[in-house]
Amino acid sequence: MQKLLIKGGKKLSGEVVISGSKNASLPIIISSLLFDDAISFENVPKVRDIYTLISLIRVLGREVDFDEEKEILKISKKNKDKYLAPYSIMKTMRAGVLVLAPLLAKFGKARVSLPGGCSIGARPVNLHLDALKKLGAKINVKSGYIDASAPKGLLGANIKFPIISVGATESTIIAAALAKGVTKIRNAAIEPEIIDLIKFLNKCGADIKYNSKRKIIIKGVKYLYPIKHRIIPDRIEAATYAIAALITNGKLLIKNVNNDHLENIFNVLKKSGAKIKTFKDSFVIFKKHQLKPFKITTKPYPGFPTDMQAQFMAMLCMADGASVLTETIFENRYMHVPELNRMGAHIETKGRTAIAHGVKKLTGAPVMATDLRASMSLVIAGLVAEGETHVSRLYHLDRGYERLEEKLQLVGADIERVGTE
């Protein structure tokens, strides 16, 4: 089994180049199933979820060529299209359920295993399925599989989500792009990754409009034309390295970013005492004094992202006082707390609220990753902890962080991967 060995206490200094967004890549690559011709994507991250998706796209009858050096992914038709997304692939990736939408829109049928992924709450797929039903799909869930059909094609509909859902919004956009008529989505998610999906589809001939009031209007078209699309930078990865700089009392230049996508995170970091200088596609971050405690509540974009909650908690373990974090998106996203407490943190949880009392030091310990972002919080804590920290179950980290130990080594961290897969 592989694990990371981290010897804490090193100030991080230098440059980090941010990879393409995993969360933007997944729905955009899945939407390639809507196309008849070859299509290519640039700035695709080399992370486990992307490789899992490549396997799934191939199973569905497409040819995939991933030039890892140039970070260009090309997808083209190979043989006869297939409609079965098996459990063997779906069990490790939540986003795989999105393939329901293009398969139904393009071919009128699909059989997709219920998904897996991180264990951070139920995250039911009912919102996806309810939206597809309103678009005219017939759906039956049995024996761990979703059987769906739309023999007469999908039809535009009015859809209002009871809660804001990134995945369900993406699914509905993809499904409605080729549907007959107009689809109106209310209470939609408007994350940068969703806007990237919309911009990509519009460049290919789709007719999709959106506004800041969470309303998306999609006029279905008959055909989409392939283009070359560049994936946006990963805002979560950028913010993660920003926190690593602060907790180690270092200074980093973080490159290949869209600062507009990071504004909500910058505002919170500045409250903690961070100094941030922004440039066209990069920023510098450092601090001059001990971190200040503060309150955070996770909310859908443009609110504070749930995908940064664990990393911020690790940082606030070293703040001068008690910080309060409230998780409103997922009901089971504090599984990193016991592991951080093993390292000397003082964190209390009650329901969806956590109180992180600042401590003077953290101590290295063997810890275990429980999900993608929680595992990164343990790495962040290990960077500042006295002694050696061992982080196991790295497959969680590898799902979303490209060349993590290499990027940290380049800015001065004492970190290495040992063991075999």
* Domains of the chain as residue ranges with CATH: 3-19+233-418 (3.65.10.10), 22-230 (3.65.10.10)
Q: Are 393 and 366 in contact (CB under 8 A)?
A: no
Strand partners, 298: 304
**pLDDT value, residue 114:** 86
CA atoms within 13 A on the CB side of 57: 29
Give the tokens for residue 192: 């940068």
**pLDDT value, residue 118:** 41
- The torsion angles phi and psi of 418, rounded to 5 degrees, stand at -130, 160
With CA atoms as reference, report the closest residue to 102 among 162, 213, 176.
176
- Stated as kind and residue range, the H or E segment containing 391 is strand 388-392
Question: CB atoms < 10 A from the CB of 320, how many?
Answer: 14
**pLDDT value, residue 116:** 61
Block mean pLDDT (10 aa), the chain, length 421: 95 98 97 95 97 94 95 88 89 85 94 66 74 96 92 95 95 98 98 98 98 96 95 98 98 98 96 96 96 95 96 96 94 90 97 96 95 93 98 93 97 94 71
Q: Are 415 and 2 in contact (CB under 8 A)?
A: no
The model carries a pTM of: 0.96
Q: Which of helix, strand or coil describes residue 338?
A: helix
With CA atoms as reference, report the closest residue to 179 among 229, 219, 125, 238.
219
Q: Pick the catalytic residue from 104, 118, 190, 315.
A: 118
Give the tokens for residue 242: 């920003």
- Strand 158-160 versus strand 353-357 pairing type: unpaired
Q: Are 404 and 381 in contact (CB under 8 A)?
A: no
Residues 6+ apart with CB under 8 A from 129: 139, 141, 146
Q: Are 3 and 418 in contact (CB under 8 A)?
A: yes
Residue 254 buriedness (CB in 10 A; 0-12 / 13-18 / 19+): buried
Q: Is 118 a catalytic residue?
A: yes
- The torsion angles phi and psi of 359, rounded to 5 degrees, stand at -120, 165
- Stated as kind and residue range, the H or E segment containing 326 is strand 322-326
Q: Are 225 and 196 in contact (CB under 8 A)?
A: no
With CA atoms as reference, report the closest residue to 217 among 253, 165, 181.
181
